[in-house]
A and B are shown apart, each in its own frame.
Chain A
């Protein structure tokens, strides 16, 4: 069945579906793993999903009332947010891994079920 040009274009939901799936998988990783570093990997996956959603809205978002005639660069707000999220993600990864190494040095494990010093 030949499709029209409108059907063949990539639209906003294409990217948002991938973003939603990655976010769900990321939260499953973060909740199910026992290794602290694997939990960190799940958080990175969720941040990536958010980045994709930001970029998709930034590209297709000119009809959301963000852009105007006098401010043509306004849609780039999504890109700027992605830059900041990447910065924070890198900082978070560095600090979290340093903490994991420190915990391992003290307690000989990064198993989150066995790091229960503050358990009630």
Chain B
């Protein structure tokens, strides 16, 4: 707790309150040693640059996903999910598919993040009890652990004969999408239209329904 005393005496701006500063220092303290280790390994030649980037992104993704499980505040949990999605966008870049990395940032960093925040705001998630994990939590943790370990072990032990890697040309993806998958593409656009119109329709405040609900209650 000596750090907190020092922080109290620092002439910090009003916005940087103690929680933010302590959290930032804590996060920096957690993140810095692995980063230094990775850079040392890179300089020694034990890992390639691509592998260094892979380790960083995997750390962000897994930490974000674990944060989505463990954080008790559901808003924080949503922010951790967005961090994991952004790490996945980086991993898409590592897989040399720039277009889908951009789409991932747009859809998850933009659309889904805003939707989740609006949903949490409109349902007053912060006023609900702090406990957001049900009594089935041990069972859920067991299922997640078993499934994750089984998938990872299966993928590691399988003999993928896949040393050939192909880099995607942006133009090829468009040609493939519109030429060979034209009908599914149109169906997908219809699904999106119906879903958005339906979302507006079912969440619209209907005066008659409200009156009925009030009369019934």
A residues in contact (CB < 8 Å) with B? 1-3, 8-38, 40-42, 44-45, 48, 51-52, 55-56, 58-64, 67, 73, 75-77, 79-80, 82-84, 86-95, 97-102, 104-106, 109-113
A58 to B27 alpha-carbon distance, docked (Å): 35
Query: Closest approach, in angstroms, between the C-beta of A93 and any C-beta of chain B?
Result: 5
User: Given A11-B162, A32-B144, list of 10 further CB < 8 A pairs?
Assistant: A12-B162, A13-B155, A22-B61, A35-B132, A38-B77, A55-B92, A58-B95, A76-B176, A94-B196, A94-B199
Residue from A20, A25, A44, A112 in contact with B155 in the complex, judged by beta carbons closer than 8 Å: A20
B residues in contact (CB < 8 Å) with A? 45-48, 50-51, 54, 58, 61-62, 65-66, 68-69, 74, 77-78, 81, 84-85, 88, 91-92, 94-97, 99-100, 103-104, 107-108, 111-112, 115-116, 118-120, 122-125, 128, 131-134, 136-137, 139-141, 143-149, 151-152, 154-156, 160-168, 172-173, 175-177, 180-181, 184, 188-189, 191-192, 194-196, 198-200, 202-203, 205, 213
Q: Can you report 13 A-B residue pairs in the complex whose CB atoms are below 8 A from each other? A: A13-B156, A18-B58, A22-B65, A23-B148, A28-B141, A32-B133, A34-B133, A79-B100, A87-B191, A88-B188, A91-B191, A95-B195, A102-B203
Contacts of A63 in B (CB 8 A): 161-164
| With known contacts A3-B45, A37-B74, A76-B172, A16–B116 Cβ distance under 8 A | no
Query: Closest approach, in angstroms, between the C-beta of B217 and any C-beta of chain A?
Result: 10
Please state if A95 and B162 are interface contacts (CB–CB under 8 Å). no
- The SS class assigned to the A binding surface is helix
Contacts of A8 in B (CB 8 A): 47-48, 50-51
Please state if A41 and B81 are interface contacts (CB–CB under 8 Å). yes
Query: Closest approach, in angstroms, between the C-beta of A38 and any C-beta of chain B?
Result: 5
Number of A-B contacts (CB under 8 A): 281
Contacts of B156 in A (CB 8 A): 13, 16-17
Contacts of A37 in B (CB 8 A): 74, 78, 116, 119-120, 123, 125
Contacts of B143 in A (CB 8 A): 27-28, 31
A76 to B169 alpha-carbon distance, docked (Å): 9
A87 to B128 alpha-carbon distance, docked (Å): 31
Which residue of B69, B97, B136, B189 has the most chain A CB atoms within 10 A of its CB atom?
B69
Q: Which residue of B lies closest to A6 (CB)?
A: B163
- The SS class assigned to the B binding surface is helix
Query: Closest approach, in angstroms, between the C-beta of A82 and any C-beta of chain B?
Result: 6
A13 to B163 alpha-carbon distance, docked (Å): 11
Contacts of B131 in A (CB 8 A): 34
Please state if B100 and A82 are interface contacts (CB–CB under 8 Å). yes
Please state if B65 and A21 are interface contacts (CB–CB under 8 Å). yes
Contacts of B152 in A (CB 8 A): 16-17, 20-21, 24
A102 to B149 alpha-carbon distance, docked (Å): 37
